Amino acid sequence: MQKNKYQAELFKNRLQKRFKHLSKWARREGVFAYRLYDKDIPEIPLAVDIYFAEENCIINSSAEKKAFLLIYLYKRPYEKSQEEEKEWLLEIEEAASSVFSIPKERIFTKLREKQKGKNQYEKVNSSKNLMSVKEGECLFYINVEDYLDSGLFLDHRPARSMIFKEAKNKKVLNLFSYTGSFSVHAAKGGAASVDSVDLSNTYLNWAKENLKLNKLFDEEKTRLIKSDVIRFLEKAIEEKKEWDLIICDPPTFSNSKSADVFDVNKDWLKLCLLCLDVLSKNGRFYFSTNSQKIKFDEAELINSSPKKIRVRDITKTSIPEDFRNQKIHKMWMIEEDK
């Protein structure tokens, strides 16, 4: 169809322009996985991430890095037949392949729609093809084939860098730890200990492999804890445990069988207050969410907290250069008001 070819050409031109701009920035910053395109053209509702994998997963390998593309198709506001969509995507993949000279077997397309509960982490394939990608001084295993997400949330790259810089000699707690990317940065940054809490065995095992990849796994210093986060915090309060640096990036919604229903829009205050209860004196707590509907009330949190705290919205500085979508997440830094 002529319309498909026209849109594929528009997409191709936009990709070339963005890559020309971002590749210079990425080389300068040592970034090997970044977002190239995110609904830049309304009629082409896609997000495109590029990953430059370490050859053979060897740390500091000087071998040429292979490029992979992950293309997300956002759910359209109108119906399009499966056949039409397939034809359109073939043109789109062809355009992307020609821009980067990437063979089609290294281009993966997923449907991105609003996810609830476990759906956001559901398997869509079972190839188990892992590759490693470098970020700062750390390496991460990613899987662009089997899950909706690759295992590394690219929009939190600046936040991970902050954690790396702040973690030295601190007790760190990573809640809803997913594949442990914050944990790896904290451990690499010299944390005294890092506790990663998640309800999924799959992601705790993935976090373990990420720690091992960076030669950081230690059963005493980098603990991996399978637990519902709310229950974990309540128990930690009873046991009078404390951490110096807390990262909490919960899913918007979760209804796991082994935990209570969690809705960040309703439960954010309770969650934040529990975190503050286990935050050490002079500690720092980062709270992040990708919910667009959250009514995070700084005054309510300050007034509800048993400690005198200050809350700073750091969203603007936590969104990386490669993300045009400035609403990809929101982030706050919370600490004691001295």
SS (H, E, C) 182-229: HHHHHHHCCCCEEEEEECCHHHHHHHHHHHHHCCCCCCCCEEEEECCH
* Residue at 147 is within a domain: no
Res. 256 pLDDT band, cuts 50 70 90: confident
pLDDT at 257 over 80: no
Domain residue limits at 63: 2-136
Q: Which amino acid, residue 245?
A: L
Tell whether 314 and 192 lie within a shared domain.
Answer: yes
Task: Check: CB of residue 186 under 8 Å from CB of residue 164.
Answer: yes
Tell whether 60 and 200 lie within a shared domain.
Answer: no
Tell whether 96 and 121 lie within a shared domain.
Answer: yes
Residues 174-202: tens digit of each pLDDT: 999 999 999 999 999 999 999 999 999 99
Tell whether 190 and 55 lie within a shared domain.
Answer: no
pLDDT at 127: 52
Task: Check: CB of residue 182 under 8 Å from CB of residue 174.
Answer: yes
pLDDT (mean) for 231-246: 98
**212 is written with which tokens?**
């091992």
Tell whether 173 and 110 lie within a shared domain.
Answer: no
Query: What is this structure's pTM?
Result: 0.92
pLDDT at 35: 97
Local structure of residue 294 (DSSP, 8 states): -
Tell whether 172 and 297 lie within a shared domain.
Answer: yes
Tell whether 96 and 185 lie within a shared domain.
Answer: no
Looking at the DSSP bridge assignments, the partners of residue 142 are 131
Tell me the pLDDT of the chain averaged across its residues.
91
Q: Please give the Cα distance from 129 to 287 (Å, whole number).
A: 32
**CATH number assigned to the domain comprising residue 6:** 3.30.750.80
How many domains would you assign to the chain?
2
Tell whether 58 and 179 lie within a shared domain.
Answer: no
CA 171 to chain centre: 22
pLDDT at 63 over 70: no
Alpha-helix runs per DSSP H in the chain: 2-29, 82-100, 157-166, 181-188, 201-213, 229-238, 264-277, 298-304, 315-318
pLDDT (mean) for 218-225: 97
